[in-house]
Structure 1
């Protein structure tokens, strides 16, 4: 009896902390928890990573072709980041003065440069790159509402074909339409021993 009461209480507490379930009765919530919680799956994270990398390559191609790369970068940020839903903790790879980009405009500046507020930005996405490949060390999703991936990704330069290795941590939430959006993005060049 005590064990089943504990399980029911734990399930009710977990559902009560899940958005959209505040008005659900505890016993009904516990009974339907598996049906109502749409956990973020590892394959969704991998697909989002692949699409993000393709988006970075696309921005660079638009730039190389003389197109509106700023608009391409803005569309990329709208598609992949949750600036319209949440605080986004973005620590770009090549930023040292303005290290953290918590606004849409600061992220756009990092990707394409040209913003006097961020003079260090040269436009990461307009280098340009031809490929981004990922290797996850792991993806965790303990609470169902946020998934976190960590690992290395490599950016292939269009001019030389050389790869640049970068360490990353990305945190994802689901938007109201069911799409994954980035709320944490931390990138850094590996420590070189110096």
Structure 2
């Protein structure tokens, strides 16, 4: 089943059940999640996507306000990625050519906030003002799920950057969804 033009208004309340949502300029706040072991639903995936996007926007806001951007990004990674759970995380960020794959939280942090002397300029500190998702499809399989489509990052001038993605999710012991696969790339251009 194709899911085009995700209706965020319907998904936003579910974000509270799936993942943390931004509560202030310091990043995301953990909230109630589904029971550990419960099957993952497509609605939870949509909610997790919304919350992840809001977290990226929050990191940029912290950066703009000259707050503790490292702490905000570390919290985002802990809230949304399965690095701490001991799961393998397959992370291939969009703007990475030299260090293509980010197998641990420190490498993900470098991508999101930048590291001097590397290709990492800080994707999340651009800053972005919104992230919009268009799922081509979502596959759920008990305690795991995958979603693929396009997401759009809106900059401070109101321009959208279209990025293709595939995200995989697992349910953590606390019942929240964690990303164990994140692949994104800019669309092919001939």
User: Does the alignment reach a TM-score above 0.5?
Assistant: yes
Higher normalized strand content (fraction of residues): 2
| 1:114 CA displacement | 2.0
Question: 2:78 maps to which residue?
Answer: 78
Q: Where in structure 1 do 4 or more consecutive aligned residues deviate above 3 Å?
A: none
Q: Which has the higher helix share?
A: 1
Taking structure 2 as the reference length, the TM-score comes to 0.79
Report which structure shows greater RCO (CA 8 Å, sep ≥6): 2
Give, in angstroms, the shift of residue 60 of structure 1: 0.2
Matches of 2:115 and 2:91 in 1, distance apart?
Answer: 19
Give 1:50-65 correspondences, 5 Å limit. Answer: 50-65=50-65
Secondary structure in 2 matching 1:45? helix
Question: Contact 2:37/2:171 (CA < 8 Å) preserved in 1?
Answer: no
Give distance in 2, aligned partners of 1:162 and 1:55.
19
How far off its partner does 1:161 sit?
Answer: 1.3
CA separation in 2, counterparts of 1:53 and 1:37?
25
Q: Tell me the SS of whatever aligns to 1:58.
A: helix
Verify the 8 A CA contact 2:150 2:163 in the aligned structure 1. yes
TM-score relative to the length of structure 1? 0.77
Which aligned pairs between 1:38-187 and structure 2 lie closer than 5 A? 38-85=38-85, 86-114=87-115, 116=117, 119-141=118-140, 143-158=141-156, 160-187=157-184
For the aligned residue pairs, the C-alpha RMSD in angstroms reads 1.2
**Contact kept in structure 1, 2:37 and 2:175, CA below 8 Å:** no
Offset from partner CA, 1:29-88 (integer Å, 9 cap, x none) = xxxxxxx96210011000000000000000000000010111100000000000012110
Deviations 1:75-118 (A, max 9, x none): 000000000121100000000010000110000000001255xx
- Structure 1's unaligned 5+ residue stretches are 1-35
When the two structures are aligned, how many residues end up with a matched partner?
154
- Which of the two has higher C-alpha Rg? 1
Distance verdict in 2 for CA 1:37–1:67, change over 3 Å: closer
Change (3 A) 1:122 1:37: closer
CA distance in 2, matches of 1:138, 1:115: 37
